Structure 1
């Protein structure tokens, strides 16, 4: 636990303390636990830091406007608290939107960037996203179970633990408010188009070919990042690190090692 701009922030830390720092940023309505299937392998090579972003997980959920500027202030403060001057940043969905904006505005602080089906380009909702929002507002087991199965390529990847973790967290005080305020904050965030050229770090985009939450067609919007490549994982939905953790780790490690050469 650390305090960032006065807000209690829970985070997990694994791997060698003196290793190169790798930050994992979860999506909207998620928590650090979403990365649990890939942390054991990644932490063999890196100091892996996984925060519950303010407003989510078991971090504070203040009654504020959850704008992109608010999240950027939080993330820069979080890195300062942990004495991280430069890091590999991996962001999924909403976390990918935050990671992209951070890499635009603080490009020298990002060593390498990995964007996993990032939000930020989609201007209209999808039925899958609508179902997930419904599950956040009305967090019953049935609603959450349906939403997570819709997000995955293989519905069997959705465990009772994943569903109950989401339901329990969305029932916490102010969790629904933070979720909806973040959705608005993303909608009214500065447009990424025309600014992605400011990202100077090598960038890997990872997308599931069966992503119904943020379809893979949006990947082409990131071509503007100068040193970027896209890998599409077959038979995979919105969260490859949950559905295909071994494939995900292999891709990430290959990219990070290759970029070091």
Structure 2
């Protein structure tokens, strides 16, 4: 298991918390950054939040402005009655870019956030300067090997089933507290909790504990997971969208990802030779937490490919 590389010797740099109404409240963190550079918009995955980017975002601010949003039902974006499906979140991201970002953005999406970024790039290409896909949710190749983490696959299958998912989440919440929930999620994603900055772990635990609308958050998680499973199971439209992307793409995948097998990333790279592909040995599902410095070097090295022509 890789040891996280911590930005600035392990010190975390806070951004400014902000909220915007996009058919409901959306929380985001503006990390600031270089005003004359590109804007990076960071999109978390299923069960994630703006805290997933705390180690990585400061490494981009010398190059451009950096913002990280919480999708509805995650982080500090209370869900209310809004849907949290993948198509609904694509529309939220589109509105966010229109309202918050000046000009086309570089979208950086992890896991489900990568899928959302791909679909947005096809829906509204004028809003996207480039795509950075970090272990994105991808369809498996037809002859893929069995995933390394069968237990995780079974759990997500359970979440996808109406009624079953609700019982699973309720039972788990009664059985374990916020600290154990955070620890288990980190381990599932391939991160050693003991190697993380204690302040980041503490803030992640506090975020889980402070969520007011627990029932709504659970509903959003289940809605998002079911929508994600649907897109991946009936993948023809998703594959067509991937082929329709016209902006530059950087695909980065951890070789030890137990949630999205590296075989899926290799297959995507083979199908899309114009995409730049980087594979990280010994890294799991969230390279922005495990190897932020190495990841930033790859992203910034690729960034000139997104420069407007002419």
Establish whether TM, by shorter chain, passes 0.5: yes
Unaligned runs of 5+ in 2: 1-17, 142-146, 160-167
Distance in 2, matches of 1:220 and 1:12, equals: 32
Q: Deviations over 1:213-238 (max 9, x none)?
A: 21111113424446202111111111
1:117 paired to 2:135: yes
Q: 1:181 aligns with which of 223, 226, 230?
A: 223
Deviations 1:11-46 (A, max 9, x none): 111213443111111111111111111111101101
Of 10, 16, 20, the residue aligned with 1:3 is 20
Tell whether 2:291 aligns with 1:249.
no
Question: TM (normalized to structure 2)?
Answer: 0.75
Could you say which residue in structure 2 is the equivalent of 1:62?
80
2:88 corresponds to 1:88? no
Task: Tell me: CA distance 1:176–1:7, structure 2 relative to 1, closer, same or farther (3 Å).
Answer: same
Alpha-carbon contact 2:72-2:84 (below 8 Å) kept: no
What stretches of structure 1 of length at least 5 have no aligned partner? Answer: none
- 5 Å matches for 1:20-59? 20-59=38-77
Aligned to 1:201: 247
Report whether the alignment pairs 1:146 with 2:190: no
Residue aligned with 2:98, SS: helix
SS at match of 1:207: strand
TM-superposed deviation, 1:157: 3.3
Q: Deviations over 1:77-119 (max 9, x none)?
A: 1111114331111100011110111112222321111100001
Distance across 2 between alignment mates of 1:40 and 1:163: 18
Checking the alignment, whether the CA contact within 8 Å between 1:157 and 1:243 is kept in structure 2 is no
1:259 Cα deviation from its structure 2 partner: 4.6
User: What is the rounded CA distance, in whole Å, between the counterparts of 2:102 and 2:150 in structure 1?
Assistant: 36
State the 1:253 CA deviation: 0.5
RMSD: 2.8
CA distance in 2, matches of 1:126, 1:4: 39
* Structure with max Cα Rg: 2
Contact 1:113 1:204 in 2 (8 A): yes
- Counterpart for residue 29 of structure 2: 12
TM-aligned CA deviation for residue 74 of structure 1: 0.7
Higher mean C-alpha displacement, 160-169 vs 7-16: 160-169
Residue among 92, 95, 99 paired with 1:74: 92
Q: SS state of the match for residue 98, structure 1?
A: helix
Deviations 1:166-217 (A, max 9, x none): 4544452121111111101212237311332210111111111111121111
Q: Aligned to 1:10, what secondary structure does the other structure show?
A: strand
Instruction: Tell me the residue number matched to 1:238.
Output: 285
Q: From the superposition, tell whether residues 151 and 31 of structure 1 become closer, same or farther in structure 2 (CA, over 3 Å).
A: same
More deviation, 145-154/8-17: 145-154
Q: Who is 1:128 aligned against?
A: 152
- Which one scores higher on RCO, CA 8 angstroms, separation ≥ 6? 2
Aligned-partner Cα distance in 2 for 1:161–1:127: 30
Aligned residue for 1:69, secondary structure, equals: helix
Deviation at 1:66, TM superposition (A): 1.9
The alpha carbon displacement at 1:4 in A equals 3.5
